[in-house]
Amino acid sequence: MKGHPQSLNQHYHRDGFVSSIPILGKGESLHHRQQLERAETALGHSLHYFNKVHTVMRSPYELATHPRLLDIVETILGPDILLYNVTYIIKEPNSRTFVSWHQDLTYWGFDGSDQVSAWLALSPANSHSGCMQMIPGSHLEGIRDQETSDDPDNVLLQSQTIANVDESRAVSCELEPGEVSLHHGWTVHCSRPNLSDDRRIGLNAQFIRPSMRQTKSDHDSAMLVRGKDTFGYYRQDVAAQSWLEEDAAQQLAIAREDYQDIAGQANPSSTPSIRSN
C-alpha cells in the first residue's frame, strides 16, 4: 500500500494494519542487513528476538527513527512518540519456526492501546518466506482468549495462540526489502515457516504514546523520539552511539530478562480500543 500518510491512517484505523510502504532504497536495505550480520559475527550468535537492540547497535536505532517511518507513526499516534522496543525477528532458511495467531497487547502490560508496531523488511518477506498475515478489522473485535504452551518452534515467548481464527479472512503482508507494515496491538496476526533459501529478516519497532502507563513494572523504559513527554512514566533508554557498543552482550542479556519479567503473564485489565487522529 502506497499513499499519502493521512490515507494510510484511515486504512490503519479501518483494518488494523497497513502494508508495503516504502521507507528505504535497496542499497540502504542491504547496508542495514550487512550491519546486522556483522554484529552477529562479532557477538557469535543470531540477534533474533533480542530486545532493545537500538540501545547497543546504531543501525536499528537509525531504522526505527527514520523520518519517513516516524511521519507515518505520527499520523496515527500524534506528535508525541516514545520508542518502546526494537527487535530483529529472523527466520532462518528452510526452518520450522513460526508465529501463531495472537494479539500483541495481551502481554505487554499497558493500560491502553495507543501503540503502533512497525515491521521493516531487510530481506524479502513473502508467502514462501513466511510473511505476516493479518485479520482485517480484528483490532475492533475485542480481546481474544490465548492459550499458552511451550512449542520450541513458536517464536512467541509463551507460544500463545488464539484458536478458531477464520483464516479465510487473512491478508498476507508481503514486503520487499526496505518496505514496512504497521499494525495495531489488538490486530490478530501470525506468520508461517520460512521455506525459502534466504533468511527472512525484519526489524520490529514498537511505538507508544507517553500517556500510556506500564501496569506490570515500575522500572520499564522507553525513548522519546518525537515531541514531548510530559508524563515521565518511563526510564529513558539511550541510543547506541557506535555501530556496536562494547558492552552489547551484557546489555542485551539485561534487556531480555527485563522484557520476560514484564511479558511473562497476561494483562487482563487491558481494554482494546483505537483512537482516531
Residue 273 domain flag? no
Overall domain count for the chain = 1
Residue 115 domain flag? yes
Residue 74 domain flag? yes
CATH of residue 121's domain is 2.60.120.620
pLDDT of residue 2: 53
Residue 271 domain flag? no
Better-predicted residue by pLDDT, 277 or 258:
258
The edge-to-edge listing of strands for the beta sheet with 81-91 is 17-22, 179-183, 115-121, 200-208, 81-91, 221-226, 235-236
DSSP letter at 44 equals T
Per-residue pLDDT reduced to its tens digit, 47-74: 999 999 999 999 999 999 999 999 999 9
Residue 276 domain flag? no
Query: What is the distance between the alpha carbons of residues 117 and 188, in angstroms, rounded to a whole number?
Result: 13
Residue 270 domain flag? no
Residue 268 domain flag? no
Q: Is the pTM of this model over 0.85?
A: yes
Query: What is the distance between the alpha carbons of residues 251 and 256, in angstroms, rounded to a whole number?
Result: 9
Q: Are strands 189-191 and 179-183 parallel, antiparallel or unpaired?
A: unpaired
Per-residue pLDDT reduced to its tens digit, 209-234: 999 999 998 889 999 999 999 999 99
pLDDT of residue 143: 82
Domain that holds residue 62: 5-263
